[in-house]
Amino acid sequence: MTIAYLNGDYLPLEQASISPMDRGFLFGDGIYEVIPSYGGRFVGFDRHFDRLTAGLSSISLKSPFSAVALKNLLEELINANATLDTSGGLGLYLQVTRGTSPKRNHQFPNSITPTVFAFTFDIPPPIAGNVDKAHTFSVVTGRDLRWQRCNIKSVSLLGNVLHMMEGVAEGAEEILLFNERDELTEASTSNVFIVRDGSIRTPNLDHQKLGGITRNMLVDMLRKHSTLSVIEGTVSRADVSSADEVWLTSSTKEISPVVQIDGELVGAGRPGPVWSEAQTLFDRYRFDY
Ligand SMILES: Cc1ncc(COP(=O)(O)O)c(C=O)c1O
């Protein structure tokens, strides 16, 4: 049985309920985070907290907790779920919405109490750059039709959901998205990296992409601990089509190799050597960044 946290209480997930007048439900008016943990240790906690705080501030919602208070809340949630099989890790989903108001008005109500909800879910164990254990992805491509504020980790994810379903309809597990200039933005639930001639590239961050914590940690690790060059800049469709390797990154996937795009193999159609180096680096330093 999964134990959830809702507005100060720890309770079985099935018993957690909110009002249908919650603005998270009515408008998608809220911010969320997904924080991975292994053996009770968080990955990138400070970065997740900073992104959450920045996201809340960008929608004029005061953060309901300090970093210490949030860490305590999540540690208690991990402990409450300690009876679960945690041979892998635990993902921590956290959502803060503006709260419940008696009327449905687009305009923010003056003073309402935010709703805070969290629950845990299983994530796979780290694979330590082992090619045989990698979860590889076949993806398709599409035009990015989401809104112009994808840097905000908003719970309004219908655009991402519809893009994911576009991929699923074509038998893919993820979809790479390109903007109106045919430049790579990200994927529906991940950031994207490519490798060409030994050099690593990832789209620079702006309003069309979420600043992924895994992406940012990986860029920092590669720059500090490897001799590989990492460029943050424009990645065109031609760059993607001619890449030797393509990776997806997210808190639950870490660094996952893409082996097929729109039916064409990427490189040799299996995880490449630069991916193996990058994931090995991530395994070594995931708790230090
Ligand atoms: C649209 C999108 N981009 C990128 C990411 C990766 O972010 P992170 O590494 O913080 O999980 C996610 C993760 O959910 C996402 O939904």
Residue 140 sits in the same domain as residue 7: no
Residue 183 and residue 176 in contact, taking contact as beta carbons nearer than 8 Å: no
Number of domains, the chain: 2
Residue 36's CATH number: 3.30.470.10
Average pLDDT of the chain is: 96
Q: From CA 221, how far away is CA 197, in angstroms rounded?
A: 20
pLDDT recorded at residue 85:
58
Interval 205-212 mean pLDDT: 98
Q: From CA 56, how far away is CA 192, in angstroms rounded?
A: 25
Contact partners, residue 110, CB within 8 Å, separation at least 6? none
Q: From CA 180, how far away is CA 182, in angstroms rounded?
A: 5
Q: From CA 227, how far away is CA 168, in angstroms rounded?
A: 37
Q: In the chain, what percentage of residues exceed pLDDT 90?
A: 92
Q: From CA 166, how far away is CA 171, in angstroms rounded?
A: 9
From 123, 150, 181, the end of a domain falls on 123
Residue 187 sits in the same domain as residue 118: no
pLDDT recorded at residue 111:
85
If pLDDT is split at 50, 70 and 90, which confidence band does 44 have?
very high
Sign for the pseudo-dihedral over CA of 261, 265, 271, 273: negative
Q: Which atom of ligand 1 is nearest to 44's Cα?
A: 10
Interval 236-258 mean pLDDT: 97
Residue 23 and residue 101 in contact, taking contact as beta carbons nearer than 8 Å: yes
If pLDDT is split at 50, 70 and 90, which confidence band does 30 have?
very high
Q: Ligand 1: distance of its center to the CA of 108 in Å?
A: 27
Q: In the chain, what percentage of residues exceed pLDDT 70?
A: 98
Q: Is the pLDDT of residue 204 over 60?
A: yes
Q: Is the pLDDT of residue 124 over 60?
A: yes
Q: Is the pLDDT of residue 84 over 80?
A: no
Q: For the segment 110-120, what is each residue's pLDDT rounded down to a tens digit? A: 889 999 999 99
Residue 44 sits in the same domain as residue 82: yes
Residue 107 sits in the same domain as residue 135: no
pTM for the predicted model, two decimal places:
0.97
Q: Is the pLDDT of residue 284 over 90?
A: yes
CA angle centred on 70, ends 68 and 71, rounded to 5°: 65
If pLDDT is split at 50, 70 and 90, which confidence band does 126 have?
confident
Supply the DSSP symbol for 19. Answer: -
Residue 108 sits in the same domain as residue 177: no
246 lines ligand 1 (CB under 6 A): no
Q: Which of 30, 16, 51 is nearest to 251 (CA)?
A: 51
160 lines ligand 1 (CB under 6 A): yes
Residue 119 sits in the same domain as residue 139: no
Q: From CA 90, how far away is CA 140, in angstroms rounded?
A: 29
**Backbone φ, ψ for residue 224 (5° rounding):** -85, -40
213 lines ligand 1 (CB under 6 A): yes
pLDDT recorded at residue 110:
83
Q: From CA 255, how far away is CA 250, in angstroms rounded?
A: 7
pLDDT recorded at residue 128:
73
Three-state DSSP at 48 gives helix
If pLDDT is split at 50, 70 and 90, which confidence band does 133 have?
confident
Residue 192's CATH number: 3.20.10.10
**Alpha-helical regions (H) of 95-232:** 158-169, 213-225
194 lines ligand 1 (CB under 6 A): no
Q: Which atom of ligand 1 is nearest to 216's Cα?
A: 9
Tokens of 252: 């639950």
Q: Is the pLDDT of residue 288 over 80?
A: yes
Q: From CA 256, how far away is CA 143, in angstroms rounded?
A: 22
Q: From CA 221, how far away is CA 219, in angstroms rounded?
A: 6
pLDDT recorded at residue 250:
98
If pLDDT is split at 50, 70 and 90, which confidence band does 125 have?
confident
pLDDT recorded at residue 184:
98
The parent domain of residue 32 ranges over: 3-123
Give the active site residues. 153
Tokens of 5: 């946290």
